[in-house]
């Protein structure tokens, strides 16, 4: 059954009639603790919202949380949906456009990723400067809704330079390292082979994961500015002797989350001051 954005928003507005967000946050594997910092939260399960659905992956709670972070109104997606779960592109579109329709101007997209650089190890945060979409689709394929965005959208500054500058200053103030890098998005759910990682390094990638790129494409299409932050959970296949597991992703995601729970609220406060 096709669900309109109006139906989706009508349900959300039953829970939060007057809430208007300034910023959105999408939380990846092991990063859900950031949502717990929101004050006066309104929590809605994805399953309760027409057009959305619960994820099936451990570490993703599938909750829409509306609240305040450093007194800034925020819409938080606690848990993301992945294409490898078999979700439709329409559901992914809804998931991103809800953030826009709640009033947000920007979205902070986080995700767990493997590092392709030995000097950036597990537990670090990488600031994304660009991406390579290596998934076999683009979320904008099909009918284009001109009320949302144009048929063709430029991606030159997809990871907003001004927002990256703010994040860099904030990280320096917190005495955090914040290496920059390019994210390559693969479909999954299998982890990459060592040969694939060698190929991705040749292409210019610094981190690899199974999300982010489609969400960034959709965010830019509907006019959201994007800040991308990756929690590094491991060195990619072939770069260490460590066996890659989802449990390891969650473990090191939680370590990185301790940094993000300081970085993201401080970024939001600094960003709001300039608006």
Please tell me which residue in 246, 251, 270, 272 is annotated as part of the active site. 246
71 is known as an active-site residue: no
Cβ atoms of 253 and 231 closer than 8 Å: yes
Please tell me which residue in 70, 85, 90, 199 is annotated as part of the active site. 85
Please tell me which residue in 9, 29, 133, 185 is annotated as part of the active site. 29
Please tell me which residue in 15, 33, 54, 84 is annotated as part of the active site. 84
221 is known as an active-site residue: no
Please tell me which residue in 9, 82, 122, 213 is annotated as part of the active site. 82
84 is known as an active-site residue: yes
CA nearest neighbour of 135 among 62, 221, 217: 217
Please tell me which residue in 5, 35, 101, 112 is annotated as part of the active site. 112
Q: How many CB atoms sit inside 10 A of residue 187's CB?
A: 13
62 is known as an active-site residue: no
Please tell me which residue in 9, 60, 215, 237 is annotated as part of the active site. 60
60 is known as an active-site residue: yes
29 is known as an active-site residue: yes
143 is known as an active-site residue: no
234 is known as an active-site residue: yes
246 is known as an active-site residue: yes
82 is known as an active-site residue: yes
Alpha-carbon dihedral sign for residues 46, 210, 5, 50: negative
Neighbour-count burial of 122, counting CB atoms closer than 10 A to its CB (0-12 exposed, 13-18 middle, 19+ buried): buried
Please tell me which residue in 62, 115, 133, 234 is annotated as part of the active site. 234
Q: DSSP string covering 206-258, please?
A: SEEESSSHHHHHHHHHTT-EEEEEEEEEEEPTTSSSPPP-HHHHHHHHHHHHH
By three-state DSSP, how is residue 182 classified?
Answer: strand
Cβ atoms of 174 and 262 closer than 8 Å: yes
Q: How many CB atoms sit inside 10 A of residue 118's CB?
A: 10
Please tell me which residue in 133, 207, 211, 256 is annotated as part of the active site. 211
Please tell me which residue in 126, 205, 210, 231 is annotated as part of the active site. 210
Active site members = 29, 60, 82, 84-85, 112, 210-211, 234, 246
């Amino acid at each position: 059954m096709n669900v309109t954005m109006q139906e989706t928003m009508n349900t959300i507005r039953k829970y939060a009639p007057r809430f208007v967000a300034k910023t959105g946050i999408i939380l990846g594997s092991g990063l859900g603790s950031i949502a717990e910092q929101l004050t006066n939260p309104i929590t809605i399960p994805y399953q309760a919202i027409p057009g959305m659905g619960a994820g099936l992956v451990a570490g993703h709670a599938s909750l829409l949380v509306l609240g305040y972070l450093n007194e800034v109104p925020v819409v938080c997606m606690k848990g993301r949906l992945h294409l490898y779960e078999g979700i439709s592109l329409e559901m992914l579109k809804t998931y991103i456009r809800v953030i826009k329709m709640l009033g947000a101007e920007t979205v902070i997209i986080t995700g767990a990723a493997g590092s392709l650089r030995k000097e950036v190890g597990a537990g670090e945060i990488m600031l994304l400067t660009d991406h390579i979409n290596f998934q076999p689709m683009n979320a904008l394929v099909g009918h284009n809704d001109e009320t949302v965005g144009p048929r063709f959208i430029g991606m030159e500054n997809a990871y907003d330079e001004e927002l990256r500058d703010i994040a860099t200053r904030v990280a320096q103030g917190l005495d955090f390292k914040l290496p920059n890098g390019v994210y390559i998005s693969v479909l999954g759910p299998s982890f990459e082979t060592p040969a694939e990682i060698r190929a991705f390094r040749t292409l210019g990638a610094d981190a690899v994961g199974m999300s982010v790129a489609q969400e960034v494409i959709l965010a830019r299409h509907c006019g959201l500015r994007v800040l991308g932050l990756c929690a590094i959970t491991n060195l990619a296949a072939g770069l260490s002797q460590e066996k890659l597991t989802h449990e390891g992703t969650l473990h090191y995601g939680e370590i990185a989350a301790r940094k993000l729970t300081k970085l993201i609220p401080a970024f939001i406060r600094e960003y709001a001051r300039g608006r």
